[in-house]
Structure 1
């Protein structure tokens, strides 16, 4: 199968994050087994979805990991011009959910396998495909924890998120959480007898806005846009009717942190303000939603030099979006981003990738294999 055939099969799996992924993981496992590649499915604690790890070459010597995720965001938008889970070609453009983020990279890696497997590799190339990346990188930590039993410590991890096939050395870290405020309901004519959860949450929201403004004053890292860490309230919900005292309100928050700043720590002042409402009789729940650390690969790292040679372009210092690369680095592995497509096409109707981008990615992976050959 060529890269387009493989992408067609991958897109046809509606592997939305948070759902079982046995179909797509099973197909990839079978496809790789046909190529004589050793594959290990790694079930997650959820019981209905798995990570996948495969090795081409000797597993007991250091090599390189090609990392990607099998899940996609939902595709319920009515603006799609065709079925999001059926690959549609229009000239160079290949439309479908996940074509850019990031089944295009998976397809290129799988298409390169027969060529790479035919080489005598002195260093292995591993495929590490995760689940539930799109809901907070929930699957890959379980895969990373199993790496010591699956292979020698890798020399580097290439995370194939869409970067226009230009390597990227850094991204911000992220932490998200939900605050739930519980008060006491009643008729709106007697506010003295209730506890208005929305009013209390307004204080928490005010603290969020104040902290967001404070962060604009630094610290700074010029590699990023914006150059500072950020905090925002993304979703707020509460109440039933204008004449009912609302007894529940929820607020979803997100912090994005430059390297060297703990993203979860950016949420701490908001958490403290929420907890202060307990003294007024409210019950407060703080529920983490997702978290991953920043990525910061040094400019002189060997992995950066490798990708410079493979792509012909100097790696970019940083991008604004986040990836699993920060988790690999936090676990002690050098990691870098490089994959086909443009992040600006992701998470929207009529997502697409170019056939030429897939071909370029496949060539890069085959060149990586050649560099690992005897």
Structure 2
């Protein structure tokens, strides 16, 4: 066991984590090193898994025997940018306002991460019959780009886990399902010229239109296809989110691109929903996948659901509309559930906050998991 740090409260730890401006798509190694040192000081087995980008990493740590099946506590350490003018202070310096702990990432989802770390001294003091793993990922906000590298390494790091608890904000209510997502970029290249002579150029925006028409038609068609009443709306969706190109109305546009996303109910492949669009793109457009992750669907009768309902003291919620990394853990054969502090309505907004009560309740829930595994 390494030299232990001064015991830090969950609130202390959240302030430390918020202080690292780990905006999605940027470096996070200083934060990861702080967490690694903290965990090693309590005897955890820590693996820092640097991603192909080189300047950011996942972290996987185990308290207990990694050769025994245990449970993963999963969080991400990246946050969305915080450039909104409505912030009343530095978003990367946590502020206290009554019971509110304010800062970028407090709710989504460094609050859960801090609660997990605050529970580590208690977990380390227990004789656990099954281990508790801590999985912290990067670039979740870019479409879950970081965690697949960590999931691929799990067979080398531990026995197949019994379950994964993803601590996205749900009011500490277990959630059984979410939609999957895929995002696609279409690019068209044209030939510029004066708009009075379109015969001497190639209009890149016009080249996008067949694929965009196919996207609009697919969006309408999905409304009458597979339904799942747990979701709102109850069907898979598709939308064109961004279209841009050209320079001026009297110049033939030589470039154009569109960003399209799908949200798929459980049992539907979000990438497959793009098939009509890709078919229309043919060889005339560049097609690039931006991101994708599968839907989550945990059966109500699962052992993990029963455990989390007991630990949280709340009945499960059928589904949420936002996506998480839980679908990827499930795809890897690990039963997964979402259960974390706060409310998603506070995320990605100025003055984002978590309350002290929510933070401490999360730490208590994680300690209960340890006690359950020590019985």
- TM-score by length of structure 2 reads 0.97
1:300 paired residue number:
301
1:140 paired residue number:
147
2:20 to 13, 27, 35: 13
Query: How far apart are residue 209 of structure 1 and its match?
Result: 1.4
Distance in 1 between residues matched to 2:243 and 2:156, nearest whole Å: 44
1:349 paired residue number:
350
2:243 to 236, 243, 258: 236
Distance in 2 between residues matched to 1:39 and 1:21, nearest whole Å: 16
Distance in 2 between residues matched to 1:349 and 1:205, nearest whole Å: 34
| Mapping of residues 162-241 of structure 1, within 5 Å | 162-241=169-248
1:371 paired residue number:
372
| Mapping of residues 44-193 of structure 1, within 5 Å | 44-193=51-200
Distance in 1 between residues matched to 2:211 and 2:87, nearest whole Å: 38
1:310 paired residue number:
311
Q: Secondary structure at the match of 2:168?
A: coil
Query: How far apart are residue 38 of structure 1 and its match?
Result: 1.7
Query: How far apart are residue 200 of structure 1 and its match?
Result: 2.4
1:256 paired residue number:
263
Structure 2: unaligned runs, 5 residues or longer? 1-7
Distance in 2 between residues matched to 1:38 and 1:61, nearest whole Å: 14
Distance in 2 between residues matched to 1:342 and 1:317, nearest whole Å: 16
2:5 paired residue number:
none
Distance in 2 between residues matched to 1:161 and 1:50, nearest whole Å: 20
2:327 paired residue number:
326
Distance in 2 between residues matched to 1:35 and 1:6, nearest whole Å: 15
Alpha-carbon RMSD across the aligned residues, in angstroms, is: 0.9
1:39 paired residue number:
46
Contact 2:208-2:285 within 8 A present in 1 as well: no
- TM-score by length of structure 1 reads 0.97
Distance in 2 between residues matched to 1:87 and 1:4, nearest whole Å: 10
Contact 2:68-2:159 within 8 A present in 1 as well: yes
| Mapping of residues 260-271 of structure 1, within 5 Å | 260-271=267-278
Query: How far apart are residue 17 of structure 1 and its match?
Result: 1.0
Distance in 2 between residues matched to 1:354 and 1:271, nearest whole Å: 45
Query: How far apart are residue 204 of structure 1 and its match?
Result: 2.3
Query: How far apart are residue 24 of structure 1 and its match?
Result: 0.6
Query: How far apart are residue 202 of structure 1 and its match?
Result: 2.8
1:23 paired residue number:
30
Contact 2:105-2:352 within 8 A present in 1 as well: yes
Distance in 1 between residues matched to 2:110 and 2:315, nearest whole Å: 25
Distance in 1 between residues matched to 2:211 and 2:147, nearest whole Å: 32
